[in-house]
Amino acid sequence: MTANPDAPDGELFLNRELSQLEFNFRVLAQAQDKSIPLLERLKYLCIACTNLDEFFEVRVATVLTALEFGAPLLPDRMDPKLALEKLHSLAGKLVDQQYKLWNDDLRPALNKAGIRVPTRDSWTAKQKRWLQKYFNDEVSPVLSPLGLDPAHPFPRILNKSLNVVVVLEGKDAFGRKGGMAIVRAPRSLPRIIQFPEEISGGKNDFVFLSAILTAFVDDLFPGMKVKGAYQFRVTRNSELFVDEEEVENLASALKGELLSRGFQPAVRLEIADNCPKSIVKILLQNFSLEQNAVYRINGPVNLNRVIQVYDMSDRPELKFPSFKARRAKLDDEAPFETLRDRDVLLHHPYESFRSVLDLLQAAANDPQVLAIKQTLYRTGKDSKIIEHLITAARNGKDVTVVIELRARFDEEANLNLADRLQEAGVQVMYGVVGYKTHAKMMLIVRREGKTLRRYVHLGTGNYHAGTARLYTDIGLMTAQPEICADVHGLFQQLSGLAPAMKLKRLMVSPFTLHAGLLSRIEREAKHASAGKKGHIIAKMNALNESGVIRALYEASQAGVKIELIVRGACCLRPGVPGLSENISVRSVVGRFLEHSRVYWFGNNDKPEIFCSSADWMERNLLRRVETCFPILDADLAARVFDEELANYLLDNQQAWQLHSDGSYSRQLPGDGEVPFSAQGALLAKLCG
């Protein structure tokens, strides 16, 4: 039996945008979970808010673009107008839950715990006096309120900036009648201000800048009467468009696009819930938005800024217990000898990213190392990776770095990084026109006697020490000749010096990974059809590539057991009779962001296991440069399977089951079952 090719795509696939939005409800559920430390719950709330910002900036913007050009969404081919209606409806429910959680639960709980963010009506007289002085001394001098009249049209409002629209009555110094004014909060001002202890009586008392602005906005308009002041924020399309085939210099073109990013078309308006309809109508007209794009907010419009309370509160008992990441068994004095003897596996964040830094530092200072090649997608500020690459170049080594300038929201940082590396003598490349370089790989070439030997690090996550403490990822250090030769060949392809080549061990997008996955899925189906064992387990961040999904459906119908662990958006419908009844999909949302990609194919008791930088998404498999590498060492392969797959299939604390209609339900222990957390088990095993 094969999947019905005539079935409507809407029956075969879930909508990507709706599925991605559903992920934020699972994040918010962490904030609602009272078994989690209080400040961590606050952090989850902020993550859900930040995720929603990006969702509007990217995914809703994509739907609006599809609507403008009359193109259906893929892979489910939903009409963009219908999708937009559903997205706004679902996002509205999410926003309501976010602010209800803040107002009714987290804010009171924080107050009870001695971390106060008082509302305006609960400020003490002493706090009001201090805030008035703070406004006069620190805020008012940098504000430039703008009255709206024929000489002062509605100003350009920067993406996600904090603003207050003010309704005025009376006349100003020039005799102009009051009407409306806009007060923009400069980016130089902190969005959360901490009260001095002697003013509030506590060490952890805070106030939102938005509350200060609306409370003292009268002072900006002497002689006039403020009838109302309403905070608002507009979210804009943040996708950059550069026609790479038409530009001579990608870096220069991106710099030009970045200058205008903050003023692209609007996609959402957040405004105080007590703002009059007449004012909302004016704002909608200025931002060219429809009524469904308005989100009335019962609280600060920039709620995600409360994350600063998490950072500034010295209350470790209200946060997750600290842990010490395990160091990999890599000889600090002789790392290359270790790798000649055996492969080294790293499971972040349970095992320290320091081992990667140590390997690169050793290479930078080793006189026998001749060359280092590295891909960089995201690195973070003050990166040790960059310091070691610069040291290597200054030590006379041939250092080549492939920087992906189009890493979303890191474009400016990567442009600056490229300049810094080039100034140090590093050869910098920007990847391949039309294909983002998302692969995570490092190659070290070392002279040993009369031969040159290669050493490689491959990973599922970025070379970013910060996210390596927060994301789960797998890294492999190896000197296996075939893997090293493949990585060398891929670097040559990226530099434009090699034709497409047949690699021995790696599967690589956009050349062989998609076909390699399809062939292995088909192999499992053939095994099952022949009465043999057919089994697939795969873990990834997202799944939307229609070819892979159709292949999984056909494998399911052939009798293959398919267990998927998909953290975010999943367009596959599991559990549909006659189509996907042998497929299960679960999502795990816990203390760490699940980021590793691991694929296991049972192959009739001759299993293969791969780790990859690629999700099973159309962009990763067809429009990016990605690596997928096998774990060849039997012990390490067993470890990856146990820790990254079997472990997560047992989770009944932080796992959610996807149903065929796109909804998720929390997986809880059944009768007699012992509660089990995959991440908790790994912390106990690797960091205990």
Catalytic positions are 438
Region at 672 (left for phi over 0; alpha for psi -120 to 50; beta for the rest): left
Region at 603 (left for phi over 0; alpha for psi -120 to 50; beta for the rest): left
Helix (H) or strand (E) holding 125: helix 125-134
Strand pairing partners for 427?
400
What token pair was written down for 348?
């972040």
Instruction: Compute the distance between CA of residue 668 and CA of residue 676 in angstroms, rounded to an integer.
Output: 9
Strand pairing partners for 476?
345, 458
> Phi first, then psi: what are they for 62, rounded to 5°?
-65, -40
- Closest residue by Cα to residue 360 from 328, 378, 384, 394: 384
User: What is the rounded end-to-end Cα distance, in angstroms, of the chain?
Assistant: 49
Instruction: Compute the distance between CA of residue 166 and CA of residue 231 in angstroms, rounded to an integer.
Output: 9
What token pair was written down for 647?
């472990």
Helix locations, 152-220, DSSP H: 197-200, 209-216
Angle at the Cα of 163 (from 158 to 166), degrees rounded to 5? Answer: 135
- Contacts of residue 667, defined as CB under 8 A and 6 or more positions apart, other chains included, come to 586, 651, 652, 655, 656, 657
Instruction: Compute the distance between CA of residue 369 and CA of residue 376 in angstroms, rounded to an integer.
Output: 20
Tell the burial category of 457 from Cβ atoms under 10 Å away from its Cβ (0-12, 13-18, 19+): buried
Report strand pairing: 471-478 vs 593-594.
parallel
311 CB neighbour count, 10 Å cutoff: 10
DSSP-assigned letters across all residues of 610-671: EEES--BSHHHHHSEEEEEEE--SHHHHHHHIIIIIIHHHT--SSEEEE-TTS-EEE----T
Instruction: Compute the distance between CA of residue 244 and CA of residue 251 in angstroms, rounded to an integer.
Output: 10
> 600 near 616, Cβ under 8 Å?
no
- Contacts of residue 473, defined as CB under 8 A and 6 or more positions apart, other chains included, come to 347, 348, 459, 460, 461, 595, 596
Instruction: Compute the distance between CA of residue 129 and CA of residue 135 in angstroms, rounded to an integer.
Output: 10
> 268 near 288, Cβ under 8 Å?
no
- Closest residue by Cα to residue 584 from 576, 592, 595, 593: 576
- Counting every residue written for the chain, the total comes to 688
Instruction: Compute the distance between CA of residue 289 and CA of residue 176 in angstroms, rounded to an integer.
Output: 30
Report strand pairing: 583-588 vs 655-658.
antiparallel
> 524 near 601, Cβ under 8 Å?
yes
> 595 near 422, Cβ under 8 Å?
no
Instruction: Compute the distance between CA of residue 331 and CA of residue 252 in angstroms, rounded to an integer.
Output: 43
- Closest residue by Cα to residue 399 from 420, 363, 371, 377: 371
Q: Which residue has the tokens 């070691």?
A: 388
The single-letter DSSP state of residue 601 is: E
Radius of gyration of the chain (CA): 27
